[in-house]
Structure 1
């Protein structure tokens, strides 16, 4: 089924895509995770968002080889940020779970990125522009949930 899409909707979609891609890349470049590799920071974020997962599930979700994920999980485990526990539904399987330290590290990372973005917006936007951004984000959130 092919629907007609207005030129203005296509332009809005393209502009949003470019802006979100640039913003995601910029936020990813921020060195707020200290000694964590990007892969380690990404696993902490995934576990915080989606909960415990097996190393193979993490590897698939992060699109890395299982051996690479094993290295990432081992480093996080040595640092005390994750632990492996038997899956309550299948005792042969281990689930990687955030520890309290891992949760705190993830929150610190998120707060630092949000603070950077808030400062950047405050420096570049008027109060009216900030309200427009807030309204636009609410609309995009509605689209994402439909």
Structure 2
């Protein structure tokens, strides 16, 4: 086991600032994309199904880091609104696959487009071309945090 070096003040400050800024952005994007009548959990499940395709309730619960009972309630509400459907799992008849209905797909795509449009519009109006280029470079550096 190697001993890691102590965290410098600048690294600690950068970590704190990054966390705070990302939390603000995440909150703002949730507000922008919030569909009337959907909770943040329901919106998140629609988004996940839109990006990743059909999944079982247990896979969704694990991905969303919630208890299976909470996911069951979320899925029940989405099903009542006609945004998801449940079909038998082709590989295991005891399980069900949850997928988006056409209405659910439309709602998820509209939500994503609204967030993207807001973010692009704000970046264009608040930053110069040079500042946006700096942001892109900074994001490449930040992306290295996620690389293993």
Question: Unpaired segments of 5 or more residues in structure 2?
Answer: none
Given candidates 15, 18, 38, the residue that maps to 2:17 is: 15
* 1:3 aligned residue: 4
TM-score scaled by structure 2? 0.83
* 1:117 aligned residue: 119
Distance of aligned partners of 1:7 and 1:95 in 2 relative to their CA distance in 1, 3 Å threshold? same
Distance 1:31 1:69 in 2: 21
C-alpha root-mean-square deviation of aligned residues, in Å?
2.1
TM-score scaled by structure 1? 0.84
* 2:77 aligned residue: 75
Q: Deviations over 1:43-97 (max 9, x none)?
A: 1112223332222332333343433322321222233321111112211101111
Question: Unpaired segments of 5 or more residues in structure 1?
Answer: none
Contact 2:33 2:111 in 1 (8 A): no
TM-superposed CA distance for 1:100, in Å, is: 2.9
Whether 2:24 is the aligned partner of 1:50: answer: no
Q: Greater CA deviation, 86-95 or 24-33?
A: 24-33
